Amino acid sequence: MVKQDFLIFAAKYLSLIFPVLIAVAFLTLVERKVLASQQLRVGPNTVGYLGLLQPFADAAKLLIKETVLPASANRYLFIIAPGITLILSIITWVVIPTFPDSTLADINLGISYIFAVSSLRRLWYINCWMVFKF
């Protein structure tokens, strides 16, 4: 029974996260096209029909890039910082009602939860900035 509940939760979570990630990718494409038209130049148009595969090409390029670790940086923090930032951004969506009958986590203090996670995210940014700066 626990495994079935976990699979249902995972399916709901993926049905929430996947459209958000795809929307962000294509909104970035739209932004690049608009900025290109404002600057009177050709925007991303070489990958796929009218550049529609550009977000996937960008993702592939990002995944195969070489990781450059600064010599004076904390290696462990430098590697996990993007993951923690992503997790803090994604867990905000848990209490937002996206399904007609429920949310992923039905808590009474949803707005307080969002403010708490947002403040954690800001503190995390400040912490990373201080660690990477000095």
State the total domains in the chain: 2
**Domain final residue pick, 32, 64, 96:** 64
Q: In this structure, are 55 and 77 located in the same domain?
A: no
Q: Are residues 53 and 87 in the same domain?
A: no
Sign of CA dihedral 46, 62, 86, 132: negative
Instruction: Note whether 4 and 60 are same-domain residues.
Output: yes
Predicted model pTM: 0.61
41 and 73 together in one domain: no
Q: What is the pLDDT of residues 48-79, one digit of tens each?
A: 888 888 888 888 888 898 878 778 777 887 78
Tokens of 35: 């900025």
Say which DSSP state 42 is in.
Answer: -
Question: 128 and 92, same structural domain?
Answer: yes
Same structural domain for residues 46 and 74? no
> Can you give the residue range of the structural domain that contains 128?
66-134
* 110 and 124 housed in the same domain: yes
Domain boundary pick from 21, 37, 64 = 64
Q: How confident is the model at residue 24 (pLDDT cuts 50, 70, 90)?
A: confident
CB 104 within 8 A of CB 13: yes
In a shared domain, residues 53 and 70 = no
Looking at the fold, whether 75 and 55 belong to one and the same domain comes out as no
> 131 pLDDT band (50/70/90 cuts)?
low
| Residue 56 shares a structural domain with residue 11 | yes
The predicted model gives 14-37 an average pLDDT of 87
Whether 36 and 81 share a structural domain = no
Same-domain status, 50 and 21: yes
Alpha helix stretches (DSSP H) within 1-134: 2-38, 54-64, 75-90, 110-133
| Residue 78 to residue 80: CA distance in whole angstroms | 6
Q: Which of 40, 64, 88 is the last residue of a domain?
A: 64
